[in-house]
Structure 1
Amino acid sequence: MAVEIERKFLLVSEDWRKQVEKTLEMQQGYLSRDAQSSVRVRISGERADINIKSTRDGIYRLEYEYPIPMEDALELMKHVAHRPLIEKKRHILHVGRHCWEIDEFFGENQGLIVAEVELAARDEPYERPDWLGREVSTDARYYNSNLSKLPYKYWKDEK
């Protein structure tokens, strides 16, 4: 069984930008996006994947991801995926012994930036960098699948 334990945070400064080691451009389309599970197609560079996630609490998820042919991904994005598509840059950096992924959204979600860290256990300690703000791991509005339903630009608060 594939498991993902992830914590998600807002940011309080741009200081993280000085630590970025790598940046990837991504586009995601959701084929299914209900409250407890989602199926998405992601294109990042020359790679395409299909991903299935199921969550109960926003931190602990079952996750399965498999490569698919680029042609299939493009067709699914064009003809099957819900709109809007998720457009983002993923910035990768390390703090202590953990890899952080900072997603900077564009398009309908322009202005939203969140940091994520994957852990081996729910209670695993991790270093909290100064640029880390409020935790939003269990706030469903910040799930990418929900950002494709109600994009950030339409939120009335949290901006």
Structure 2
Amino acid sequence: MAIEIERKFLVVGDAWRAEARRSERMAQGYLVGAAALEAGLARASVRVRIAGADARLNIKSATLGIERQEYELALPREDAERMLATLCDGVLEKIRHYVPVGGHTFEVDEFLGANAGLVVAELELPRADAAHPRPPWLGREVSAEARYYNVNLIRHPYARWSAAEREEPTAC
């Protein structure tokens, strides 16, 4: 079984940009997304993502927190484009920046479209209790806040959040 251990943080300021080593634009949509998860009709999200020439199908367990089951399979890009256009209820776009810090690589996602203005950093770890660096631009951890999960940003985009929702943590 494949387990993803990932922590997610809000990003503060732009200091991380000077350290970014590469960036790529991504488009992704969900074949099984937030509506099915909220209704209790699914135990996993099923995502199609295109990043550059690469296209992948991803299946991730619908659990909150930093440890989740995850499976990923390569797809022909043409199939992924067709799936995004015809089978997904929406497409999320972002630019992912890879930022090395202290032997780790943060994936800083700068969201576009209806999620513009939201910037989060994700860090994959070998263990849930693994130590990791805390660069000054790393803000509040939001790993257990479902509203920051990409699957939910399609249905409830950042542009529709109230000022209070942008500032306050939600109950876990």
Aligned residues: 158
The answer for the alignment partner of 1:120 in structure 2 is: 126
Verify: 1:158 aligned to 2:148, yes or no: no
The answer for the alignment partner of 1:135 in structure 2 is: 141
- What displacement does 1:55 show? 3.9
User: In 2, distance between residues paired with 1:152 and 1:117?
Assistant: 21
The answer for the alignment partner of 2:53 in structure 1 is: 46
User: In 2, distance between residues paired with 1:56 and 1:107?
Assistant: 26
Greater fraction helix:
2
The counterpart of 1:69, out of the listed 52, 69, 76, is: 76
The answer for the alignment partner of 2:17 in structure 1 is: 17
The answer for the alignment partner of 2:27 in structure 1 is: 27
Q: What is the CA deviation profile of residues 13-37 of structure 1, one whole-angstrom value per residue up to 9, with x for unaligned ones?
A: 2100010000010000111122552
Greater fraction strand:
1
- What displacement does 1:122 show? 0.7
TM-score scaled to structure 2, two decimals?
0.89
Q: What is the CA deviation profile of residues 117-139 of structure 1, one whole-angstrom value per residue up to 9, with x for unaligned ones?
A: 00011100011001111000000
TM-score scaled to structure 1, two decimals?
0.96
The counterpart of 2:96, out of the listed 50, 72, 90, is: 90
SS of equivalent to 1:92: strand
Question: RMSD in angstroms over aligned alpha carbons?
Answer: 1.1
Give ranges in structure 1 of 5+ residues lacking alignment.
Answer: none
Give ranges in structure 2 of 5+ residues lacking alignment.
Answer: 168-172
The counterpart of 1:59, out of the listed 45, 66, 91, is: 66
Q: What is the CA deviation profile of residues 55-105 of structure 1, one whole-angstrom value per residue up to 9, with x for unaligned ones?
A: 42321011111111111111101110112x110000001111111000000
User: In 1, distance between residues paired with 2:64 and 2:126?
Assistant: 16
User: In 1, distance between residues paired with 2:141 and 2:32?
Assistant: 26
Verify: 1:37 aligned to 2:44, yes or no: yes
